[in-house]
Structure 1
Amino acid sequence: MSETSGPSSPGAARAGPGAPAASRAVLPLAIAQFIMVLDSSVMSVSISQLVEEFDTTVSTIQLAITLYALVMAALMLTGGKLGDLFGRLRVFRIGLVIYAVGSLMTALAPTVMVLIVGWSFIEGAGAALVLPALAALVAGNYEGAGRARAYGIIGGVAGAGIAIGPLLGGWLTTAYSWRWVFAGEVVFVVIVLLLGSWIRDDEQRARFRLDGFGAVLSAVGLSLVVIGVLQSGTWGWVLPLQSPVTPFGLSLTPFMIGGGLAVLWAFFGWERRVAGRGRVPLLDVRNLRIPALRSGLVSLLAQNLVLLGIFFAVPLYLQVSQGMDAFQTGLRLLPTSIAMLLAAAVGARVGTRFGARTIVRTGLLTVAAACVLIVATVEPELATVPFAIGMALVGLGTGLLASQLGNIVQSAVPPEARSEAGGLQYTAQNLGSSLGTALIGSLMVAALATAVLDLIAADPDIEAAVADRATVQVASGIEYVPAADAEQALLDEGFPREQVDDLVDAYVEAQLIGVKLGLLACGAAALIALPATRRLPGREQGAEA
């Protein structure tokens, strides 16, 4: 385009892809990727301590988690374009510094509001600068099979961070404090910055005016969609549960998501208009016509939807039904981390032989099979060995996906569009994560409510008057809590002592049904994603890459 200039750094292209510095670039980039995904999973297992320490509510901490995902999703495309404007390595470093400032503020936070500002807003903004640049820098430092291996490592590390987070967070939270996680992230950021000379900055830096209006439209549209999805479990998808307003007697969720989609439609129209005027758009919508890019983005969304859905259902089962603490839960998830790292490394090496399409399809089928196996172990007593095998299969399948998808997205676009592709990549992943938690969570709650009412109605030992009272209680809201808590809540509500045991038995059995349906839904989502892989590169195309 007319606003684009040549390279801004005379030495940018001196080192070839095989130069020693480039060969080591994956280490600081992988550490950065690990940092970006670690604290979300840590925060999830530290909610109770945060509530106690800040004298706040669970909903407030969940708001902080929601805002973190929201800020990242809303700013990701803009962060990618800033990499094109100021240089990817420079923006990568600036993002890391911003992220470290947020981490330090979070580690020292005296109040929950300081925590929200430090973690949700400052760290979220830093991550939105780091991640698109990171994806583009991997592509800029490696080519061919080396690039596939590098993306396999990055993808495996990202997945391992999600899986290791509960273990590390559970241990630190139990033995010391959740604050040490965020303090440790500052140290890791310093290490990445010190190793930054290993990363080659060879992009074609461009001169153009940032599409500010497009940035606002994309941020607003994505924010509305993400808020709608994340709040669906509270507000209800269609019929209102705890919706703040009820337009036409319906939940706010469909209006929020619909409004977001309408704004995004306007965003795409605006971007076409900007490009038509010869200016640089925030998103070149022509790239979305590339079949491999579209398939890669859909597959990334599906990967995170399934993985985060599993990581919502399984810890719930382990902690609520099995009574495990955060550290014990993390140990049960460890097979996933190990298998994911190994599969990501192996998948990247065999991708050119079998083709990305075959590897991705194998990964999706493996995850679906893993979900079925784990469902078979969801019983009052945990079947330890089959469960561990199932979790390892989850890691195997998602590791195979991670080994291919980042490389597919970046290799599908020209070099000048790599930052933009990185923004799209991580936007798809954040949307997938949001959908995984919201969809699977709301499905499990609905299944719990339906199952417990059916079991109560079918139990001849439960009196009709008690069953009616239970129906009213369930209609007002039901959650997954330990059996002892459910028993105490029923007694506090004045239910007859002789009927409480039968009600709790029905509730415990309904919990298992809800978890099983949630896991089966994850497996179904993996199978539903299979048609989207049709346009991924095959063996011949993989060999050419």
Structure 2
Amino acid sequence: MKHWRALAVLGTAQFLMVLDTSVMNVSISQLVEDFDTEVTAIQAVITLYALVMAAFMLIGGRLGDILGRRRMFLTGMAVYGVGSAVTAVAPTLWVLTLGWSVIEGLGAAMVLPAMAALVAQSYRGRDRAVAYAVVGGLAGAGIAVGPLLGGWMTTYLTWRLVFAGEVLLVLAVLLCRRVIATPARAAKRPRLDGVGAALSAAGLGLGVLGVLQSSTWGWLEPRNPPFTILGFAPTLFVVGSGIAVLALFRGWERRREARASDPLVHLSLLGRPVLRAGLTTLLSQNLILLGLFFAIPLYLQVVQGFNAFQTGLRLLPVSATMLVTSLCGSSLGRKVGPRRVVRLALAIVAAAVVWLLATIDPVIDDAQFAGAMAVLGVGVGLLASQLGNIVQSGAGEEERSEAGGLQFTAQNLGSALGTALIGSILVGALAGAFTSQVADDPRLSPAAREQVGVRLEAGITFVSTGQVRSAAERAGLPPPEVDAVAESYASAQLDGLKAAILATGGVALASFLVTTHLPSAGAGRPPEPAPPYRSGRDDQTGGLTRDGITVAQGRFLWIMSLRAVPQR
């Protein structure tokens, strides 16, 4: 029993980080009300959390190599606990952003790479396979219970208690720190590439910031930006600046590699088609899922008026089928090949998006909606069962840490882009549809159209039709015109939601383009020049392997990666 105490501590940390992400999305409406803000502000908070993790995951992994994985794990848990405490008592939106998005995001970027390495270092043989399965199962449990627990707490108590409870769990983990063994230090510790770390974080931050602010600034035509550049909105210039900084990062890392210095990450890994295709598909998966889990709660809470617990109940089908399919899909991959499974998964996701579009009506059909969400979970679960194995099979044994860092970075970058890009499409389509509806409605007078136009120029956000009605009444419009404005906005809401959901389907279809480089049935190790792997039975991991990864490892890596899914 003593042998497994460390696993209990590490698994608790994994469960905690999966559960944490379950609160925000099912609590969007409550957060808007509590902080007297807008949906776009909560969108920014959610996006920033994923972005901080994406920007600092490679740095966190490298610091673990330098300072020691155990020390980094415990330090990260302490940072995470501080962030949870700040979030629990946050009096303003800015404090919430600091606590949840920044401090907790940094803590997670320190904990997750260290935790994965500690599991591998603490167990050998069959014990390691069991350890991966247990930690992966705890992650899956967090995914499944998160929407219900977060929704129930938000509806009947307060979402703040979830974060207060996290502080207690963090303290429990820290009190049990002695059960985590200190791994042997490497003979030569790498050095941190400070310039590379700064360039990567700045490049990712600028790129996602531009996409996030596009809903407020506009893409080309200025909507409500703080400044303009040559008469255009600054959005594309900010995104372009991010790309330029990432190009500098690429050059800097290659220069360090050429000089035999320690880079932040060996970018030569990205030259391997299998690994590159796996990372790209992973990014697409999280972009799709995070985009949908931003748009769908808005439909359930703002349009349908459901509370957080009712929203969590309606998200349960996707969580349940995703968990079951991700556990069972690895055997299918061994029979027909990862490429076919990934393509099947993308087709199922696209079909689920079409089904979801058919359910976006003024009155929800719960049976149809549950069916569409269950199918979506099947598609994402099949992706999850393959992509971790694919990414790791593109790296040698000594490169697994870096490949894992790239994996976490890709998934969190996809999460940040999903919330930012899909949210931007939603708001942009809402504004366009509302403008068109108002212009074509014969019930509205020219004066009413002008008032609506002035408000649209000042910016639009996703609110309830009741709030729009109240605003129209305060503007002094007569009752028939108030009804006309409210009905136009209600119709535009559905159009915006459909445009956002349709965009995720487009991403799923576009992802087919990179699947040609994924391994097919019967493929051995990847064709790129990676170090050879043993086949058959691996005495280090226990269990049958494919490309050096056990089935249990593959399941663990990708159930763990789903912690970023906002079943919140």
Matches within 5 A, 1:166-185: 166-185=147-166
Matches within 5 A, 1:19-418: 31-46=12-27, 49=30, 64-109=45-90, 115-136=96-117, 161=142, 165-189=146-170, 194=176, 206-418=188-400
Q: Which moved more, 1:410-419 or 1:291-300?
A: 410-419
Q: Give the superposition deviation at 1:353.
A: 2.0
Q: Give the superposition deviation at 1:44.
A: 3.8
What letter corresponds to residue 492 of structure 2 in structure 1? A
Change (3 A) 1:249 1:143: farther
Q: Following the alignment from structure 1 to structure 2, what is the Cα–Cα distance between the partners of residues 358 and 198? A: 40
* Identical-pair percentage: 54
Q: Following the alignment from structure 1 to structure 2, what is the Cα–Cα distance between the partners of residues 304 and 431? A: 8
Change (3 A) 1:145 1:473: farther
TM-score under structure 1 length normalisation: 0.86
The C-alpha deviation readout for 1:12-64, integer Å capped at 9, x for no partner, is xxxxxxx9969x98776554334324334413444565566667777766654
Change (3 A) 1:61 1:468: closer
Q: Give the superposition deviation at 1:464.
A: 4.8
Which residue number in structure 1 is paired with residue 563 of structure 2? none
Q: Following the alignment from structure 1 to structure 2, what is the Cα–Cα distance between the partners of residues 172 and 399? A: 27
The C-alpha deviation readout for 1:524-543, integer Å capped at 9, x for no partner, is 11111112122122221377
Q: Is the 8 A contact 1:102 1:118 kept in 2?
A: yes
Is the aligned partner of 1:483 residue 2:436?
no
Q: Following the alignment from structure 2 to structure 1, what is the Cα–Cα distance between the partners of residues 386 and 169? A: 26
Gaps of 5+ in 2: 525-544, 548-568
Q: Following the alignment from structure 1 to structure 2, what is the Cα–Cα distance between the partners of residues 442 and 188? A: 36
Q: Give the superposition deviation at 1:314.
A: 1.1
Matches within 5 A, 1:418-457: 418-457=400-439
Change (3 A) 1:511 1:154: farther
Is the aligned partner of 1:530 residue 2:530?
no
Aligned-partner SS, 1:249 = coil
Match of 2:495 among 497, 509, 513: 513
TM-score under structure 2 length normalisation: 0.82
Q: Give the superposition deviation at 1:108.
A: 4.4
Aligned-partner SS, 2:281 = helix
Q: Give the superposition deviation at 1:148.
A: 9.7
Q: Give the superposition deviation at 1:358.
A: 1.9
The C-alpha deviation readout for 1:130-174, integer Å capped at 9, x for no partner, is 223344556667999999998798778767756754433232122
Q: Give the superposition deviation at 1:103.
A: 1.9
Aligned-partner SS, 1:541 = coil
Which residue number in structure 2 is paired with residue 9 of structure 1? none
What letter corresponds to residue 313 of structure 1 in structure 2? A
Q: Give the superposition deviation at 1:499.
A: 2.1
The C-alpha deviation readout for 1:269-290, integer Å capped at 9, x for no partner, is 1111111111111111111111
Change (3 A) 1:258 1:523: same
The C-alpha deviation readout for 1:80-124, integer Å capped at 9, x for no partner, is 112222343442333223212322343345666554443333222
Q: Following the alignment from structure 1 to structure 2, what is the Cα–Cα distance between the partners of residues 56 and 446? A: 19
Q: Following the alignment from structure 1 to structure 2, what is the Cα–Cα distance between the partners of residues 241 and 103? A: 36
Q: Give the superposition deviation at 1:521.
A: 1.3
Q: Give the superposition deviation at 1:373.
A: 0.7
Gaps of 5+ in 1: 1-18
Q: Give the superposition deviation at 1:386.
A: 1.1
Match of 1:496 among 478, 482, 500: 478
Q: Is the 8 A contact 1:72 1:127 kept in 2?
A: yes
Give the total of aligned pairs.
526
Q: Give the superposition deviation at 1:255.
A: 1.8
Change (3 A) 1:460 1:144: farther
Q: Following the alignment from structure 2 to structure 1, what is the Cα–Cα distance between the partners of residues 152 and 247? A: 45
Aligned-partner SS, 2:222 = coil
What letter corresponds to residue 222 of structure 2 in structure 1? P
Q: Is the 8 A contact 1:152 1:403 kept in 2?
A: no
Q: Give the superposition deviation at 1:415.
A: 2.6
Higher relative contact order (CA 8 A, sep 6+): 2
Which residue number in structure 2 is paired with residue 474 of structure 1? 456
What letter corresponds to residue 366 of structure 1 in structure 2? I
What letter corresponds to residue 328 of structure 1 in structure 2? Q
